[in-house]
């Protein structure tokens, strides 16, 4: 039952005095969207006579406009969902290929088959593979599926057994680096500013203003923003100041800021550093924490007692922040002392030579940052006194992913720590003290800091990306997916890999476009003998598939979500939200949950699959699924509704009301800070002893197995300047290329929406290869000229757009285009730099495992 | 009297273009037509360069040039200040398009389709029922929404269901709507306290759309 909100339709165009035709079916149906990490947002869609024609922010229930992320507002993405429903190029029947030859430009010779034939074919192959080793199947999927918005997909994926994980999110287009640190430092999936309260933001290479979802937009407007970006992005355009930094040199700027704060201003949040970080831990000559001989606990220097004591000894006096001490005849220094010494060299004058931002500007920014942090101030919220530090540093993908990204992320976190802005009101938030759906939470480890998570060294590696052997910290959230594709085509000599994958199961993402070196990924994919694509359209991966299973779009299906993660960061509610069908799906398409239930049943692991559904969706008695019964998704959804509300509300209730929303408390919002103080846990900064230790062990293990081509020298405890990998590219490649997500496209794959594309063409430079007007003049290139963009691995051709808002040595290409097969998207005929972005071990960050995303190219007229 | 008007805060707009998509969906507009637009302009030379985002709609001018030239009375001004086109009276002469100093009007010459050669989508079918061809159209201030809202006792600009789509959906809350003749309305106050500006006041049309920021 859907509430009848409007009974008659509207006449259009301001017709005067005309009788308005009554419509039979005219309803607004509540649902939700979670197409970006800033969601979920509450929406309602307008359906008239069976056609969905509009969407708006849902404010139909009390509190919806106040506490929710979108506050009754809308970003442009949900409109694309309407378009997708009516995309005439949808796949509308299961298909099998008849042409054994595969290629992006080769007709697969699709023939329509029945669902039974399609599912039996897949189940038979998968069953054989699974019986030997489930890793024989590799899989990628869209991030929505990870967020619990993909029906029972995730339960299937886990219950099948460990597939080769080549998750979509971990390719080029994701900031995997930050996920690792968000967990190590904040216990959370990712970290971002306390958007509701922040006042001063230093934004490095991130287009966060328009891309930050509705919530980001509503809140970032209130803060002073300094944007450091080679290009005048939309974010930079809205900033108080734009600093066109030389690409790949953000680390120099951050190190200089740290230098100024420590060595020139000397304004530090000492109390925070001593009590809530490892700044006071004593470090020995070997670069590791000095430990108590019997307990093994790290030591700090108690200035009152004048001796070294265990970090959590009772009645500790004031701790030494700086200084050189002697413990057991061994000279040692506090972690902060080491930071101070290491940062001494990074003067603004040094940085300006590298990053090309004037030293005076760097000094001014450092001062503004410190002043705005209001060190020492507190704020009383709901009777709780909390530290108030309304400043943050945001880093975007070119900074948080790529070679040396670990140094960048560490420097970012040290910057905010110096002023005490970690998890403070207005500061840098992860917001997850306790584990949630996919945040690990903060468990106290033996050294008084959160328990780190990383792979134990595994040799030979069990997966084709080799992550357990080379990038241990990628245990958090997936893999360095690009290494999978490298190893499939050109593995390093002597790397003992498991038997090659026999099948590839793909749900909705596009690995061909989201990684790099497109041709290589395509050739790797072609090596996999059996590809199953769950897809709504004929895209590039589908073009290489053997079997295509067409699924429902987001407006044709159910999901239940209860986002209890990442409080702070602007989300001020808990709740249970329903996504529900607005319109009828095409008759021969099937929901993802139907598809995987049938596969689980036909392959023969319905019991483990049902069990996993109970676990992942937290379905408790009496609503639990019996293990050997096949359930329809709508039945499971009803059980979830009842189980989550302890029997109070069923699916019918949610279909009418859309969601239950309750505002969070101050304790919820600042749960990490309160947790750290209560449990006496310290943030593992500035001294990442754990990373150094893991790196040393990794080096020893790799030496044992004879690997000398993978370096661990970046596993350092303190950040340092390392020249950009781009400096090694021959001089003839004289342009940098940066990319960015466009708000109208990111996460939503809206590039196959014709109306959307038409509208988005309004923003100049989003589609073209954007070049500095002066630089173009020098080369005789005019607006609209066709040019070749050539990197050391290949070239692509496209039209140039000119702008004054970009460095003369930099090109910009948006990240979401370049499709050659996907209907509508391919007609845009726009470029993606991914196609010519080299992917290699050398161009992979040793610690975060992320691939280099900023590259160098040469440009010449076509 | 009531005179509906809009205030657009240039400081807040981030050129997400949500308003454009919103308007196109609200009115099921065909390819090539956008009653609501956002102009993105770059000024200066590197490195002293800025970008501005300016949303534009029909100004629903008090002294509307389009109304004056329309020979059939199809384009007319309602008592509440909204300038509308009665498609049934419009003969498609397009004098109004020439007269409008803001380029806010569009001629719907013939049915255009988003997927040439792939038939008509259900959205386009719905659009065909609402939009005539051979007539001129433009931003209506979502007059039907306002009227329906008023019938239910709602207040345009305050209650979402009585407020133009582009205003109700704007994700930065950069757009405001309300009664310019009511000195206490949010729009009047914003114009007063932020020295609201009209577009091309020299044209003498007295627009009902103001810019602040
Ligand atoms: S994509 Fe837009 S509507 Fe969806 S969750 Fe993000 S901000 Fe909200
Ligand atoms: S929706 Fe709002 S922020 Fe977005 S472009 Fe339109 S006016 Fe600007
Ligand atoms: S007021 Fe209505 S018709 Fe005018 S631009 Fe906004 S949404 Fe479009």
Are B16 and A82 a contacting pair at CB < 8 A?
Answer: no
Task: Please state whether beta strands A428-429 and A391-395 pair in parallel, antiparallel, or not at all (unpaired).
Answer: unpaired
Of B85, B131, B169, the CB nearest to A57: B169
Average pLDDT, stretch A517-536? Answer: 95
pTM of the full structure:
0.94
Find the helix packing angle between A77-85 and B18-26, rounded to 10°: 40
How many alpha carbons lie under 13 Å from residue A115 in its C-beta half-sphere? 16
Q: What is the pLDDT of residues A605-650, one digit of tens each?
A: 999 999 999 998 999 999 999 999 999 999 999 999 999 999 999 9
Are B114 and A57 a contacting pair at CB < 8 A?
Answer: no
For residue A266, give the DSSP letter. Answer: -
ipTM for the predicted complex comes to 0.95
Q: What is the pLDDT of residues A641-699, one digit of tens each?
A: 999 999 999 999 999 999 998 888 899 889 999 999 999 999 999 999 999 999 999 99
Residue A18 has pLDDT above 50, yes or no: no
Which range (A51-65, A144-158, A391-405, A510-524) has the least confidence?
A144-158
pLDDT category of residue A129 using cuts at 50, 70 and 90: very high
User: Which fold, B4-212?
Assistant: Alpha-Beta Plaits (3.30.70)
Of A10, A805, A806, the CB nearest to B144: A10
Average pLDDT, stretch A112-141? Answer: 96
pLDDT category of residue A196 using cuts at 50, 70 and 90: confident
Residue B120 has pLDDT above 90, yes or no: yes
Query: What is d(CA A851, CA A173) in angstroms, rounded to the nearest whole number?
Result: 10
Dihedral sign, Cα of residue A472, residue A473, residue A477, residue A482: negative
Percent of chain A with pLDDT over 90: 70
Of B16, B119, B123, the CB nearest to A75: B16
Residue A479's contacts (CB-CB under 8 Å, 6 or more residues apart) are: A165, A166, A167, A170, A463, A465, A467, A849
CA of B171 to the centre of ligand 2 (A): 7
Average pLDDT, stretch A799-824? Answer: 91
Q: What six digits make up the tokens of B40? A: 């993105």
CA of B91 to the centre of ligand 1 (A): 42
Beta carbons of A335 and A280 less than 8 angstroms apart: yes
The answer, for A249 touching chain B at a CB cutoff of 8 Å, is no
Q: What is the pLDDT of residue A476?
A: 77
Are B173 and A755 a contacting pair at CB < 8 A?
Answer: no
Instruction: Give the DSSP H or E segment for A381.
Output: strand A378-381
All residues of chain B having their beta carbon less than 8 Å from the beta carbon of residue A75 are: 16, 18, 171
Instruction: Compare A537 and A515 and report the one with higher pLDDT.
Output: A537
- Burial string for A56-68 (b: 16+ CB within 10 Å, else e) reads bbbbbbeebbebb
Instruction: Give the DSSP H or E segment for A505.
Output: strand A503-507
Average pLDDT, stretch A110-117? Answer: 98
All residues of chain B having their beta carbon less than 8 Å from the beta carbon of residue A762 are: 15, 17, 20, 37-40
Instruction: Compute the count of residue pairs across chains A and B with CB atoms less than 8 Å apart.
Output: 182
- Burial string for A88-120 (b: 16+ CB within 10 Å, else e) reads bbbbebbbbbeeeebebeeebebeebebeebbe
All residues of chain B having their beta carbon less than 8 Å from the beta carbon of residue A55 are: 25
Q: What is the pLDDT of residue A830?
A: 80
The domain ranges of chain A are: 194-428, 725-861
Residue A542 has pLDDT above 80, yes or no: yes
Query: What is d(CA A120, CA A704) in angstroms, rounded to the nearest whole number?
Result: 46
Are B45 and A774 a contacting pair at CB < 8 A?
Answer: yes
Which residue blocks in A394-536 are alpha helix, DSSP H? 397-400, 405-418, 467-470, 481-489, 511-514, 518-526
Give yes or no for residue A289 CB within 6 A of ligand 1: no
Farthest CA pair distance, chain A: 96
Are B160 and A59 a contacting pair at CB < 8 A?
Answer: yes
Instruction: Compare A9 and A666 and report the one with higher pLDDT.
Output: A666
The Cα of A453 is separated from the nearest Cα of chain B by a number of Å equal to: 37
CA of B172 to the centre of ligand 1 (A): 13
Give me the phi and psi of A806, to 5 degrees please: -155, 145
* pLDDT, averaged across chain A: 90
Q: What is the pLDDT of residues A579-607, one digit of tens each?
A: 999 999 999 999 999 999 999 999 999 99
Query: What is d(CA A408, CA A228) in angstroms, rounded to the nearest whole number?
Result: 14
All residues of chain A having their beta carbon less than 8 Å from the beta carbon of residue B55 are: none
CATH number of the A194-428 domain: 3.40.228.10
Q: For the domain with range A725-861, which CATH number is right: 2.40.40.20, 3.40.640.10, 3.40.50.720, 3.75.10.10? A: 2.40.40.20
Beta carbons of A687 and A340 less than 8 angstroms apart: no
Task: Please state whether beta strands A769-772 and A794-803 pair in parallel, antiparallel, or not at all (unpaired).
Answer: parallel
- CB contacts under 8 A, A 691-750 vs B, are 743-744
The Cα of A316 is separated from the nearest Cα of chain B by a number of Å equal to: 49
């Amino acid at each position: 039952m859907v509430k009848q909100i409007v009974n008659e339709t509207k006449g259009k165009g301001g017709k005067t005095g005309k009788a308005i035709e009554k419509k039979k079916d005219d309803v607004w149906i509540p649902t939700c969207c979670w197409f970006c990490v800033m969601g979920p947002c509450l929406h309602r869609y307008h359906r008239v006579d069976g056609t969905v024609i509009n969407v708006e922010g849902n404010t139909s229930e009390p509190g919806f406009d106040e506490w929710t992320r979108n506050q009754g507002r809308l970003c442009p993405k949900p409109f694309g969902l309407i378009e997708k429903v009516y995309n005439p190029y949808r796949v509308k029947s299961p298909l099998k290929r008849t042409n054994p030859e595969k290629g992006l430009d080769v007709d697969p010779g699709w023939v329509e088959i029945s669902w039974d034939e399609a599912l039996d074919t897949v189940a038979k192959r998968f069953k054989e593979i699974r019986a030997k080793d489930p890793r024989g199947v590799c899989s990628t999927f869209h991030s929505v599926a990870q967020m619990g918005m993909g029906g029972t997909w995730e339960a299937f994926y886990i219950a099948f057994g460990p597939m080769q994980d080549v998750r979509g999110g971990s390719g080029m287009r994701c900031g995997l680096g930050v996920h690792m640190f968000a967990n190590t430092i904040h216990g959370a999936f990712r970290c971002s500013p306390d958007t509701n309260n922040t006042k001063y933001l230093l934004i490095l290479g991130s287009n966060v203003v328009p891309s930050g979802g509705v919530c980001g937009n509503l809140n970032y407007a209130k803060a002073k923003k300094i944007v450091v970006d080679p290009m005048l992005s939309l974010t930079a355009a809205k900033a108080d100041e734009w600093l066109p930094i030389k690409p790949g040199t953000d680390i120099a700027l951050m190190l200089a800021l740290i230098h100024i704060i420590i060595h020139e201003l000397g304004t530090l949040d000492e109390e925070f550093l001593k009590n809530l970080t490892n700044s006071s831990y004593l470090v020995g000559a070997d670069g590791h924490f000095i430990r108590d001989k019997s307990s093994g606990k790290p030591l700090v220097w108690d200035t009152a007692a004048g001796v070294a004591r265990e970090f959590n000894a009772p009645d500790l006096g004031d701790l030494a922040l700086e200084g050189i001490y002697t413990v057991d005849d061994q000279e040692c220094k506090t972690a902060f002392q080491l930071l101070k010494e290491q940062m001494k060299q990074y003067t603004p004058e040094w940085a300006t030579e590298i990053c090309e931002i004037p030293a005076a500007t760097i000094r001014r920014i450092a001062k503004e940052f410190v002043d705005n942090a209001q060190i020492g101030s507190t704020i009383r919220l709901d009777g709780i006194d909390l530290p108030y530090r309304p400043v943050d540093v945001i880093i975007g993908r070119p900074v948080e992913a790529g070679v040396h990204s670990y140094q960048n992320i560490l420097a970012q976190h040290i910057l905010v720590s110096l002023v005490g802005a970690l998890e403070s009101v207005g500061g840098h938030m992860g917001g997850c003290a306790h584990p949630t759906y996919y945040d690990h939470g903060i468990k106290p480890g033996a050294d008084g800091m959160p328990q780190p998570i990383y792979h134990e060294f595994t040799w030979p590696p069990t997966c084709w990306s080799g992550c357990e052997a080379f990038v241990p910290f990628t245990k958090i959230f997936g893999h360095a997916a690009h290494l999978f594709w490298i190893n499939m085509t050109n593995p390093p000599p002597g790397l003992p890999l498991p038997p090659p994958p026999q099948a590839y199961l793909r749900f909705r993402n596009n690995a061909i476009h989201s990684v790099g070196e497109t041709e290589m990924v395509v050739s790797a994919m072609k090596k996999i003998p059996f590809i199953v694509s769950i897809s709504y359209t004929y895209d590039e991966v589908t073009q290489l598939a053997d079997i295509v299973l067409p699924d429902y779009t987001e407006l044709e299906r159910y999901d239940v979500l209860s986002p209890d993660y990442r409080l702070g960061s602007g989300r001020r509610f808990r709740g249970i939200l329903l996504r529900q069908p607005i319109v009828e799906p095409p008759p021969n398409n099937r929901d993802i949950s139907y598809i995987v239930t049938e596969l689980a049943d036909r392959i023969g692991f319905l019991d483990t699959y049902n069990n996993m559904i109970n676990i992942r969706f937290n379905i408790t008695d009496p609503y639990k699924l019996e293990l050997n019964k096949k359930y329809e998704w709508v039945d499971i959804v009803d059980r979830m509704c009842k189980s989550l509300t302890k029997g109070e509300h069923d699916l019918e209730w949610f279909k009418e009301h859309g969601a239950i929303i309750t505002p969070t408390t101050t304790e919820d919002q600042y749960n990490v800070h309160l947790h750290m103080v209560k449990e006496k846990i310290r943030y593992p900064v500035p001294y990442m002893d754990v990373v150094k230790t893991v790196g040393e062990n990794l080096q020893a293990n790799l030496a044992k197995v004879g690997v000398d081509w993978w370096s661990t020298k970046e596993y350092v405890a303190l950040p340092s300047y390392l020249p950009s990998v781009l400096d090694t590219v021959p001089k003839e490649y004289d342009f940098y290329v940066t990319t960015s997500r466009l708000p109208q496209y990111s996460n939503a794959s809206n590039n196959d929406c014709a109306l959307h594309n038409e509208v988005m063409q309004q923003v100049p430079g989003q589609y073209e290869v954007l070049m500095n007007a002066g630089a173009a003049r020098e080369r005789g290139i005019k607006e609209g000229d066709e040019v070749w963009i050539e990197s050391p691995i290949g070239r692509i051709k496209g039209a140039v757009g000119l702008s004054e808002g970009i460095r003369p040595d930099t090109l910009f290409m948006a990240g979401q285009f370049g499709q050659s097969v996907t209907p509508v998207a391919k007609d845009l005929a726009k470029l993606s730099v991914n196609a010519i972005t080299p992917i290699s071990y050398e161009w992979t960050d040793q610690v975060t495992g992320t691939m280099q995303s900023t590259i160098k190219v040469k440009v010449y007229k076509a | 009297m009531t005179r509906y008007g809009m205030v657009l805060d240039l400081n807040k707009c981030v050129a997400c273009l949500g308003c454009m998509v919103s308007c196109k969906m609200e009115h099921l507009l065909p390819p090539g037509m956008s009653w609501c637009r956002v102009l993105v302009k770059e000024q200066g030379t590197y490195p002293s360069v800025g970008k501005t985002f300016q949303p534009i709609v029909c100004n629903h001018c008090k002294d509307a040039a389009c109304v004056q030239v329309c020979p059939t009375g199809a384009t007319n001004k309602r008592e509440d200040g909204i300038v509308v086109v009665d498609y049934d009276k419009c003969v498609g002469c397009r004098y109004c398009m020439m007269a409008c100093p803001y380029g806010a009007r569009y001629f719907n010459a013939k049915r255009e389709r988003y997927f040439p050669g792939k038939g008509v989508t259900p959205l386009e079918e719905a659009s065909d029922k609402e939009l005539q061809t051979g007539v001129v159209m433009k931003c209506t201030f979502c007059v039907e929404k306002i009227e329906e809202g008023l019938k239910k006792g709602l207040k345009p600009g305050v209650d979402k269901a009585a407020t133009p789509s582009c205003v109700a959906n704007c994700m930065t809350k950069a757009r405001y709507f309300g009664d310019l003749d009511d000195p206490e309305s949010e729009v009047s106050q914003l114009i007063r306290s932020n020295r609201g500006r009209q577009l091309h006041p020299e044209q003498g049309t007295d627009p009902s759309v103001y810019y602040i920021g």
